[in-house]
Amino acid sequence: METKQNRYHVFPVIVIAAMLAVSFVCTASVYNLNEQVSSLQSEVAILQSAAKTAAGTQDNSITTVSNTESVSLSDLYEQVENSVVTIQSTIVEYTMPFGRQVTTEAQGSGFVYDYEGQMVIITNNHVVEDAASITVTFADGNTYDVKVLGADTPTDLAVLSTSAPASEYYPLEIVSSSTVRVGDYVLAIGSPYGLAGTMTTGIVSALNRTITITEDVGSSYDITGLIQNSAPINSGNSGGPLMTYDGQVIGITTAIVSNSDGLGFAVPSDTILTTIETLLA
């Protein structure tokens, strides 16, 4: 990101075929032709039964994948777009003589969450860290002031509240990331380069990644347990949700590898849930 947040820098089939070939060689050396035919017919019947069982298992797997792929992303987007927000922060870099302040703008994303009846915005800490003022813009274009309820640097998470009316809030569901597997389909929504409401898709590429964040001042720290994914994300996506094709949050997009192709990382939802509880206790 060009702003402040850029600092964070067929096996069963083969077995069946092999078994049939071995059986044919053995029986050919012992039985006459009729006995061979009879024996082979029996074996074929058994193998056909096994093949049907294997095919049934395979069909179920294909059906599951097909169902996932047949999800209407357009319908899903319409269901969740109002839950994702754009966050704008003004950071005071330093104060010059006579009180003049030099500021920079940081932009990121976030999403609405219902924490025990309290509507909050979840985002990355680096989106709002050291901000003199923060605003949040909802999908309908309305903008409101923001208050930071809590922030945690090691997990790069922050919880915000806004002055928006109840009608603006469309909370997303956060589910456990413990069942996430490599290869699962995921989607990300955010505001890359200020383009609010941008959706991208990909898969989970790896789990339990650790990245080192180096700040402008030279200090660094590690963020662990991250979900690596291939959904294209860019500067401004930080803080947006990483979701399943069911529209459930399993992570929060946090970092990308500069000049890479599809190397993005998200803080897993289990970490989000634990951190929120700590920050709002």
Residues annotated catalytic, as ranges: 126, 156, 238
Cβ atoms 272, 157 nearer than 8 A: yes
Question: For every residue of 9-35, which 3-state class applies, written as one string?
Answer: CCHHHHHHHHHHHHHHHHHHCCCCHHH
Burial string for 211-243 (b: 16+ CB within 10 Å, else e) reads bebeeeeeeeeebeebbbbbbbbbbbbbbbbbb
Can you tell me the distance from the alpha carbon of 221 to that of 233, in angstroms, rounded to the nearest whole number? 22
DSSP state of 55: H
Can you tell me the distance from the alpha carbon of 255 to that of 263, in angstroms, rounded to the nearest whole number? 9
Helix (H, G, I), strand (E, B) or coil at 104: strand
* Distances in whole angstroms, Cα of residue 157 to Cα of each of 67, 126, 127, 251, 267: 33, 8, 9, 11, 9
203: Cα separation from own chain's centroid: 8
Amino acid identity, position 65:
V
| Residue 157, number of CB atoms within 10 A of its CB | 26
Taking the alpha carbons of 149, 232, 203, 188 in that order, is the dihedral positive or negative?
Answer: positive
